[in-house]
Amino acid sequence: MELNSLSEGKWWGDDCLRHVDGFWLLPQFVEPIDRVVKHFRPLPSDIILASFPKTGTTWLKSLLFAIVHRTSKHRLAMKNPHELVPNLEVQVYTASDEPLTTNPCSRHRIFSTHIPYQLLAKTLDSSDCRIVYVTRNPKDTLVSTWYFVNKWKKAEKEPWPLEVAAEKFCDGLVPCGPYYDHVMGYKKLSSEKPKKLFFITYEELMSDPISHVKNLAEFLGCPFEGEHEVEEVVKCCSFRVLSEHEVNKSEESPVWFQLPYNSFFRKGAVGDHKNHLSDEIIERIDALTIEKFHSVGFMY
Ligand code: A3P
């Protein structure tokens, strides 16, 4: 598949995103995404975590790692989840067609991606790999994105006003946007092929982590032996525990991103948008959510 970039759109100050086959991508990731689409051939044993940015990727990375590498879950205290589960377009296919492999001796390789299903369909459909998709309430996703971008861009220019961020989010003009199309691409796949894709929301996981983590482990073919085991995994991946590790409090930045490791941990709560968004913005996003999701039976 050839990725077609037709236009550019300003999303933050003068910074532009590239419009590629219906999605807005950060320019620096267009080529790596093209390489993933053209060259990544998932093994049947691979696990691919897909997500829209700021919807719970870090949490799911830690959970997937802890579920699959149960006896090595202590490594989460020493390495940031993004180092343990690399992102295909950000860390793996950065400079060549030859991917690095993660844990080549392990039963399952685990990768993550923010690439929309609409762009990655052929790759994912060509293999029996399992896919896990996490999503999150759009209003909390917007607030988390707004914080993250302001931290990321702070050294460069003026802050990104929340009203502008909300406008861009609703227009779909944020990295990997439109959010709604991203979610619907994977949601549709999960309805059609529930054995291939495990679809979970940040809020479901927060409200009943034990049940959902048990289901996730079964989906991955790595069921838990007892209640204690699942409780341990949930605990070691909780925001409270993970965010306290020195490696996750670090001001150091990874080689593959400008922001420090601690930027992946902020508040880790459901409903933080209520502390930030005006009634008007909330009404606008709620109306969009009803239009985009409820019509297809996804009740967010
Ligand atoms: P907030 O900004 O609302 O705090 P991503 O990992 O996709 O970039 O998403 C980041 C969001 O997930 C941030 O949300 C971050 O604080 C939260 N997060 C990170 N680790 C988490 C964990 N173990 N449990 C719950 N939330 C977590």
What CATH number should be reported for the domain holding residue 17?
A: 3.40.50.300
Q: Is 19 marked active-site?
A: no
Residue of the CA atom closest to atom 20 of ligand 1? 59
Ligand 1 within 6 A of 177 CB? no
Q: Is 202 near ligand 1, meaning CB less than 6 Å away?
A: no
Instruction: Answer yes or no: is the C-beta of 239 below 6 A from any ligand 1 atom.
Output: yes
How many domains, the chain? 1
Query: 95 is in which domain, residue-wise?
Result: 5-296
pLDDT at 297 over 70: yes
Cα(142) to ligand 1 centroid in Å equals 12
pLDDT of residue 80: 97
Structural contact between residues 100 and 39, judged by C-beta atoms closer than 8 angstroms:
no
pLDDT at 271: 98
ipTM: 1.00
Q: What is the tens place of the pLDDT at every residue in 159-204?
A: 899 999 999 999 999 999 999 999 999 999 999 999 999 999 999 9
Predicted model pTM: 0.96
Q: Which residue has the higher pLDDT, 3 or 122?
A: 122
Cα 295 to Cα 258: distance, rounded to the nearest angstrom: 39
**Residue 133 Cβ contacting ligand 1 at under 6 Å:** no
SS (H, E, C) 136-165: CCHHHHHHHHHHHHHHHHCCCCCCCCHHHH
